[in-house]
Amino acid sequence: MALIDQLFNDMLSKGGSDLHLAEGQPPKIRRHGRLVALDHPILTAETIRGYLQEICPAERWGRFLETGDLDFAHALGTVARFRVNYFNQSHGMGAVLRTIPTKIKTLDELNLPPVLKTMSLLRSGLVLVTGPTGSGKSTTLAAIIDLINETSSRHILTIEEPIEFVHQTKKSIICQREVGIDVNSFADGLRTAGRQDCDVVMVGEMRDHETISLAISAATMGSLVFGTLHTNSAVKTVDRIIDVFPAAQQPQIRSMLADSLKSVCAQILLRTADGSGRIACSEILLSNSALSNSIREGKTTNIRNIIQGGKNQGMQLMDDVIQKYLSEKKITAEEAYMKATEKSRFSQAAPHA
């Protein structure tokens, strides 16, 4: 048993989601959104180096020493998997290790909007799951991919850095490629996907111009493409995609996005009022003619009105869901105010607003 397994077990027993290691500090875990120190000694240079090196393959350890940054996945037997990031910081080495559940939860188990199930029925187009780091984007996408895998016979390709949820072949053929091992980059993975007869492509992160361009092209040409962005609303998601491109290319991208975008699910996690955990809060945008026209004409400010007018189809604004949770006393007024888009709507209820 690796020495670091003691920290993993301690974190899991306390219900933590992330293990934070940094030289000169005690190990800490993130529990229900807050950082809490474990009852362990302060990490010395020798201790943290030992922890990090013992679970890292030799060739990757060499890469980390050379570049000062590394991503990979680690399995604690059959108990849990972790998404691992190693980095150098001003006081020495550091790492964040995030728990990846070994069982993929369904959309129902995650208490996500039922309309997301319809994303598994799409045959082409672009579906984006967005939100800040740690908002459950990967968990939501894994649930949708698993639903496709269970209900239809398609060729599913995932491109991830690193591979998080491990999917077993069910009705579909599923191929998972890891950036840095199986393919050089997200863009390279997308470029070769066109030659692999893929029906569904999941891109772990659409972080640069080339990857976004290739994802939109694949969706336009008939693949169903899922991707993630670090944006916290549907409006910001559409703007972010278009703004990645030079001004001369933006009219063409607006046209391609207008034709291919099927849905945006912007997601955050809210701390529950009783402090027992967190609940997902989602803004849902679905494709219709009004959305296509607004994107094509560069009128993304219309999107909030489109969502409000599309409630019967399953669309919803983030602040409306926050208001619902607050009225049901599932979250505190302070939490509602802190996470709301329009703060003024919740300022009277929040004690410190």
Helices within the chain (DSSP H only): 5-13, 45-54, 58-67, 137-151, 186-193, 209-220, 234-243, 250-260, 289-296, 303-309, 318-327, 333-339
Q: In sequence order, what DSSP letters do the residues of 53-119 get, joined into one string?
A: HHTS-HHHHHHHHHHSEEEEEEEETTTEEEEEEEEEETTEEEEEEEEE-SSPPPTTTTT--GGGGGG
Q: Collect the ranges in the chain with pLDDT lower than 70.
A: 1, 349-353
C-alpha to C-alpha distance for 170 and 148, rounded to whole angstroms: 9
C-alpha to C-alpha distance for 175 and 211, rounded to whole angstroms: 19
CATH class of 114-316: alpha beta
Query: What DSSP designation does 169 have?
Result: P
Angle at 131 between CA 126 and CA 137, to 5 degrees: 70
What would the two tokens of residue 309 be?
A: 């007018």
Q: In sequence order, what DSSP letters do the residues of 183-203 get, joined into one string?
A: BS-HHHHHHHHTTTT-SEEEE
C-beta separation of 174 from 231 below 8 A = no
What are the phi and psi torsion angles at 190 (to 5°)?
-70, -35
Q: 3-class SS at 18? A: strand
- Crossing angle, helix 58-67 and helix 45-54, to 10 degrees? 130
Task: State the architecture of 5-100 in CATH terms.
Answer: 2-Layer Sandwich (3.30)
Strand order in the sheet with 80-89: 34-37, 28-31, 18-22, 92-100, 80-89, 69-76
Domain boundaries, the chain: 5-100, 114-316
The pLDDT assigned to 75 comes to: 87
The pLDDT assigned to 206 comes to: 93
Q: Which residue, 201, 158, 145, 154, is CA-closest to 173?
A: 154
The pLDDT assigned to 352 comes to: 55
Would you mind telling me the total number of residues written for the chain in this entry? Answer: 353
Global pTM reads 0.89
